[in-house]
Chains A and B, each alone.
Chain A
Amino acid sequence: MTVSSVLTEDLVFPVPTVLRRPEHTIEIVSDAGEGAQKCGQIFGAVSAKMGNGVWTVEIIPAEIQPPPRTAEGASGNRIRFGTGPITNWGDETNLVVAFNEQVLLGRHRLGALASDAIVLIENSWGSSPNPDVRAAWNKAMTELAAESYRIIEVPMEEQCLTIDDNPRKGKNMFVLGMLAYIYDRSLERIEDQIAYAFRKKSEEVFRKNVALMRLGVEWAQSNLDFRIEVPTNPPREALVVMNGNEALGMGALASGMELCAMYPITPATSVSHYLAEVFTKFGGILHQAEDEIAAAGVAIGASYAGKVAFTVTSGPGLALKTEFIGLAVMTETPLVVIDVQRGGPSTGLPTKVEQSDLLAALFAQPGDAPRVVIAPATIEECFHSMITARQIAETFRVVVMVLSDANLSTGVQPFPRPQLKNEWLAPELDLVPVKEGFRAYDWDQRMGISTRAIPGQPGGMFTVTGLSHDESSKVAYGAGVHQRSTAMRSRKLAVLQQTLLRPTIYGDEEGDLLIVGWGSTRGAIEEAIDRARAEGIRASSVHLTFLSPMQPGLKEIFSKFRKVITVEINYSDQPGDPFITEENRRRGQLAMLLRSQTLCDVGCWTRVPGEPLRPGQIHQAIRDAVNTNNGEES
């Protein structure tokens, strides 16, 4: 700093050092209810609009209003953004804004922050009139000082009080302003986004929030000695930005489905929040049923009587729906079931990601109940998976499970704006009389496919039943009939499988290691593959969209690699742990399926951390896998 600037420091802004970075990851954490999420959402949306690749995740405590100032109660947003596309939440956070030292401590203890992270922390707690608060502050700051974070104390409350009497309110907009200054975000776009976020509030609320945001910009301008430049790359095509649950809901609209029956369950519910606002004008009904079971039943009843309907749930709800899903399989009533997976078993980790429902999605049924299982890997695929799911459900008279998860449900990412197509929409009901000789299940003897009659079609009257039945839907317990009808229901999956494409390989077609993944881990896996390949490791990956039936060519693909392992967010026993042997080891769920499907020695690297996998972790797992002989972990 020059002498003159010191003399006039109230008047002249310091000249900041500009750090240029290809990408940065920031977090805004607060107690629940302080608006850190809104701040993060606006920042993420504006960054996407300006042309950064963006991946946003929510940091959510399980409770609505957990005790304030606790390490476990951290609530907020984590935004990774960069010059190029961003496909996952990344590794550690580079810059964190914390509304109190306890939520910061929570993130620190989880290992969420890079060792050189910049920390902007509300400093009013250090001078709190409450001695316990002061003591907690001092203790926390000592613990944090052990790391090499760059800690900057910010008088957020003091500043905000100049505009709003309520110190809990407004900090989020002040922080938004600070971040806008640091990352040089367009203030015009930010104001537009604030207007949208508060569109249901008064003009006064909007103006106050803008004033708070501007205050944050000014404070940062006068007090910070750095800025960070993450160059933007204005998008060449039209993009939309939304989270995975919104994309599922919008995909349902684009598929022409008209009835969704559900029961509230985290993290699936926000699909219904979205639909509740808009579905009616699309001619649809969002029915909140009395329980998870009824939700499945209402969807099946609607599907039976007309257009394919869907239900949306998460693990514990899926458990309750199994009986009805079996009925849909047996009666060949088309049905789409979204499972936004969370940690389990039982109520498990309601707000956290896991991929532990794969086997339940395929097999959670007494009897032989084949159904289709697909797993979107990105927000964009959440949208398109609903269109595919409806089409398959209708064409094959099957149940289609769509496996999303808590990572996709709240993750926000821009993607190319879908170019809507007429043929995506469910056709209008055609209630012409059925043809002479119609039978309820006139299975094509090779393909198992039959045409269904819908109530209202003259001549098609029959009674569907969950009991074993023949082609005319007559209850029939004979051995021959059951063998035949079970084969027909199964055959449909084989026919579908024949229409699927061989999965594309990310990287070379042969090498030392192939990672196989499914669902939301795609971005992190491919980023890890890039890093490994940059080091000269001959690793590739393949990501499966269809889990039942599986895409063709897997065995042949696997044969070109020295080792094949799955990477999944579910549990597997670690080799070397007490009692764990090659014989008794329980493996990751996809690994189990692939082993039985291909007879290949497919290993696995799986974790259940209650958070998305980081590319850095997977990268390390790749290094370990190529350096050990068992194809799995060291």
Chain B
Amino acid sequence: MTHCAILPVLDDEDREFALNDYEGAMARWCPGCGDHSILTAVEKLLVAEQLKPEQTVFVSGIGCSSRFPHYLKTYGFHGLHGRALPVATGVKLHRPDLEVFVVMGDGDCCSIGAAHWIHAIRYNIRMVALLLDNSIYGLTKKQTSPTTPQGFKTNTQPYGSFLPPLNPLTTTLGTTNASFVAQTAEWIPAHLYATLRAAYHHPGFAFVRILQRCPMYTQGMYEEAVRNPSVVELLVHDDGINAPELDKVYKSRAAHDPSDIDAARKLAGDETRIRLGLFYRNEQKARYDLIRKPPVITRSERIELLNAELDHYAV
């Protein structure tokens, strides 16, 4: 329930939501863009969880992926580059009754918005934060992003990107109070969907990095992984993210207990393979949204309190 007094509204609990209840404008991403399959998986999640469109808010930053809210029929906030998380924080602090999803790109989250990213992890406010990581600035036409592989040629670093890429998983796992860290890939819909569901059910800040292809600027970046499932290692555990339909295809697996932060950091830091799954989950971490939840007071209580406050300052 929200903490600010809300007038009662007649609610039709019998409403049932189908896919078209969530579909917004026609997506304008490039053909072959990974954003399409992420949008599909998110819509599937909304249907599966029967989230009320009016109770759901998608907050995004700026970039290709941040057009996301426009293509849904929920409430949406398409804000500033790098600043989706503060807006989402404000929404959720004032209206804890709303379901909040944040959609960010790699430049958005890991570069211009990095300060907010670190602190959002620490606040651990209940929301799903999706990092749509295609390792490139797409909308501004192929500039190096923090996750661009070293040596990859872009328009701002035409002789190859200078530095090794930032690892969003180790960064998140290294931040105090991280409570849910997962990685998935847009080209494996079953895993993507299973990951989104697990994230949605996490009582805290659920951070999901989604590996993503950009058909315009990073063609071939995951070509090997898409063609050859054995390149991808799935993290498996009874408490992890499990998609049984992948059993026959994705045979490379590693058992990983998602409550083990040290193992999670080690696995995330080893960049020799692509690992998908739940790296870490801890439902006991401090949650700022719960800690800061104020009492609900009526207007007359407010005036009474304020009069008492004025008494302190009375001459």
Contacts and interface: CB of A to CB of B under 8 A. Distances in A.
B249 interface: no
B309 A306 contact: no
Interface residues of B, number: 63
B208 interface: no
A306 B306 contact: no
Contact of B90 (A305, A457, A461): A305
Interface string B1-33: 011111101000000000000001100000000
Looking at B2, B58, B118, the one whose CB has the most chain A CB atoms below 10 A away is B2
B91 interface: yes
B3 A283 contact: yes
Contact of B294 (A283, A290, A417, A458): A283
Interface in B60-85: 62, 69-70, 72-80, 83, 85
A294 B86 contact: yes
A293 B80 CA distance: 11
B90 A309 contact: yes
Nearest to B53: A461
A456 B94 contact: no
B54 interface: yes
A388 B219 CA distance: 55
A459 B296 CA distance: 26
B69 A463 contact: yes
B211 interface: no
Contacts of A284: 294
Contacts of B88: 301
Interface stretch (A142-150, A429-437, A599-607): A429-437
A305 B100 CA distance: 11
A422 B119 CA distance: 37
Given A246-B313, A287-B93, A429-B4, A300 B87 contact: yes
A283 B74 contact: no
B307 A420 contact: yes
A280 B299 CA distance: 15
A254 B315 CA distance: 19
Contact of A455 (B70, B75, B85, B302): B75
Interface in A426-475: 428-433, 455-467, 474-475
B6 A465 contact: no
Given A235-B315, A461-B73, A466 B79 contact: yes
A293 B81 CA distance: 12
Contact of B76 (A49, A307, A459, A462): A462
A302 interface: yes
Contacts of A261: 90
Given A258-B4, A278-B309, A238 B294 contact: no
Contact of A417 (B53, B59, B89, B314): B314
A431 B9 contact: yes
B86 to A, nearest CB: 3
A299 B91 CA distance: 9
Nearest to A277: B309
A278 B94 CA distance: 17
Nearest to A239: B315
A298 B93 contact: yes
Given A298-B87, A461-B75, A259 B93 contact: yes
Interface string B269-311: 0000000000000000000000010111101001101110110
A253 B309 contact: yes
B315 A305 contact: no
A309 B95 CA distance: 12
A323 interface: yes
B94 A49 contact: no
A406 to B, nearest CB: 21
Contacts of A500: none
B117 to A, nearest CB: 10
Nearest to A274: B309
B74 A461 contact: yes
A304 B100 CA distance: 13
B86 A297 contact: yes
Looking at A287, A305, A425, the one whose CB has the most chain B CB atoms below 10 A away is A305
Nearest to A48: B315
Contacts of B79: 297, 300, 327, 331, 464-466
Contact of A285 (B292, B310, B315): B292
Contact of A253 (B5, B83, B89, B306): B306
A433 B4 CA distance: 18
B294 A280 contact: yes
A241 B79 CA distance: 42
B310 A299 contact: no
A293 B299 contact: no
B132 interface: no
A431 B6 contact: yes
B97 interface: yes
Contacts of B48: none
A303 interface: yes
A250 B24 contact: no
Contacts of A474: 25, 70
A281 B295 contact: yes
Contacts, number: 225
A560 B56 CA distance: 59
Interface in A305-363: 305-307, 309, 323-324, 327, 331
Given A239-B315, A283-B295, A287-B93, A297 B78 contact: no
Contacts of B69: 463
A256 interface: yes
Nearest to B59: A301
A262 B77 CA distance: 21
B115 interface: yes
Contact of A309 (B62, B94, B98, B305): B94
B24 A463 contact: yes
B57 interface: yes
B76 A463 contact: yes
A126 to B, nearest CB: 40
A197 B55 CA distance: 47
Nearest to B67: A475
Contacts of B52: 458
Given A253-B306, A294-B116, A307-B94, A301 B9 contact: no
Contacts of A240: 310, 313-315
B187 to A, nearest CB: 27
A298 B77 CA distance: 13
Nearest to B94: A302
Contact of A301 (B86, B296, B303): B86
A285 B293 CA distance: 8
B303 A420 contact: yes
B115 A304 contact: no
A414 interface: yes
A299 B315 contact: no
Interface in A454-508: 455-467, 474-475
A341 to B, nearest CB: 24
A176 to B, nearest CB: 18
Contacts of B310: 240, 250, 417-418, 420
Given A49-B315, A455-B91, A463-B76, A298 B86 contact: yes
A302 B3 CA distance: 12
B313 to A, nearest CB: 4
A282 interface: yes
B288 to A, nearest CB: 9
B200 to A, nearest CB: 17
A72 interface: no
Given A305-B90, A309-B94, A461-B75, 15 more contacts: A281-B305, A283-B4, A294-B89, A294-B119, A297-B90, A298-B89, A300-B87, A301-B88, A301-B92, A327-B80, A429-B7, A430-B6, A456-B97, A463-B78, A464-B77
23 contacts: A49-B315, A235-B315, A253-B309, A281-B305, A287-B292, A294-B115, A297-B90, A301-B88, A301-B89, A302-B91, A323-B83, A324-B83, A425-B302, A431-B7, A455-B75, A456-B9, A457-B54, A460-B75, A461-B74, A463-B24, A463-B58, A463-B72, A463-B75
Nearest 5 CB-CB pairs, A to B?
A301-B90, A297-B86, A463-B76, A302-B94, A298-B90
